[in-house]
Amino acid sequence: MNDLLVDATWLESHRDDVVVADVRWSATGGAAEAERAFEAGHIPGAVFFDVDRDLAGVPFVEGPGRHPLPDPERFATALASRGIGRDDLVIAYDDGGGSVAARLWWLLDAVGRPCALLDGGLSAWPGPRGSGPATPRPAATADVRLWPEQRIVDADGVAEALRSGDLVLDARVGERYRGETEPIDPVAGHIPGARSAPFPNVLGADGRFRSPQELRDRFEALGVAEDAVPIAYCGSGVTASLDVFALKLAGFGDARLYEGSWSDWVHDPSRPVATGAEP
């Protein structure tokens, strides 16, 4: 393993030494659908997190956008209730190429707690799967840590970064970036000046992460420089975490996350919107 990514073989032999976290989410079915999927089959011993319920605050109330960061105390309580202590290594997975599990990775990494992703997600797990609800773990002590300001940016920060020539990456799929379709938010398009960096592109055809060098080459082609601190956004700040993860895997350090992302940007009708393939 490395600090960011493990394979299924490593996890099989170290499962008793880590906390395995299943992080699945349904944009249409909510927590109930994701939890049904968990109960139908998961890595044995895994705990379950739902994005809406556990990894986000109340939309447009507790923060910007559809998935604002959760209150630090509530997040710490969610971890503790699943038996995750301050020094426990969490291995997170999903069934979406890491695009949802990366949200838990980002939250933990941002506050200095150890977490890695399972390369290939649930489909890479070769052993038998558990079923039914998660097996309770002894509760841990809640360790409350505030979200670091240097890892997050708001809409004004994005606008200022673009004026300063900083790189902003849009992690949504290309058709949403171009404004050809918008299945969730009320306005289609992208932030003027942002470059398209679809999160699925960090994966190979086998559903596993591209090598660090391949990722580095791809991000450099988008304009990411060695000393740059790019900003990543998506629809609501969830799948952009995968671009942040991939940038770190490629050796670029900590990118910033636009917390509210597109759902926050278009919440203010005065903000400009672009369409088409160009930034």
- Please identify which residue in the block is written with the tokens 């969610």: 78
Instruction: Note the pLDDT of residue 22.
Output: 98
3-state secondary structure of 4: coil
- Asked if the model's pLDDT at residue 28 lies above 80, the reply is no
Q: How do residues 218-227 score in pLDDT, each as one tens digit?
A: 999 999 999 8
Instruction: Note the pLDDT of residue 29.
Output: 66
Cα atoms in the 13 Å half-sphere on the side-chain side of 136: 3
Q: How do residues 132-158 score in pLDDT, each as one tens digit?
A: 999 999 999 999 999 999 999 999 999
% of the chain with per-residue pLDDT over 70: 98
149-265 shares the fold of 5-124: yes
Q: Are 249 and 145 in contact (CB under 8 A)?
A: no
- Please identify which residue in the block is written with the tokens 């559903």: 207
Tokens of 261: 């992302």
Instruction: Note the pLDDT of residue 5.
Output: 98
Quick one: average pLDDT of 233-239? 97
Quick one: average pLDDT of 230-254? 97
Rounded mean pLDDT of the chain?
96
% of the chain with per-residue pLDDT over 90: 93
How many Å from the N-terminal Cα to the C-terminal Cα in the chain?
Answer: 37
Instruction: Note the pLDDT of residue 16.
Output: 94
Distance CA 223, CA 166 (A): 10
Beta strands in the chain (DSSP E): 5-6, 19-23, 47-49, 90-93, 115-118, 152-153, 168-170, 195-196, 231-233, 256-258
Q: Which CATH architecture has domain 5-124?
A: 3-Layer(aba) Sandwich (3.40)
Question: Is residue 234 among the annotated active site residues?
Answer: yes
Q: How do residues 174-210 score in pLDDT, each as one tens digit?
A: 999 999 999 999 999 999 999 999 999 999 999 999 9
Domain borders along the chain are: 5-124, 149-265
Instruction: Note the pLDDT of residue 25.
Output: 85
Three-state SS string over 81-117 comes to HCCCCCCCCEEEECCCCCCCHHHHHHHHHHCCCCEEE
Q: Which of 69, 134, 234, 238 is catalytic?
A: 234
CATH of 149-265, one of 3.40.50.1970, 3.40.250.10, 3.40.190.10, 2.60.40.10: 3.40.250.10
3-state secondary structure of 77: helix
pLDDT band for position 125 (cuts 50, 70, 90): very high
Q: How do residues 57-106 score in pLDDT, each as one tens digit?
A: 999 999 999 999 999 999 999 999 999 999 999 999 999 999 999 999 99
Q: Are 184 and 27 in contact (CB under 8 A)?
A: yes
Lowest mean pLDDT among 6-10, 26-30, 111-115, 221-225: 26-30
CA 37 to chain centre: 19
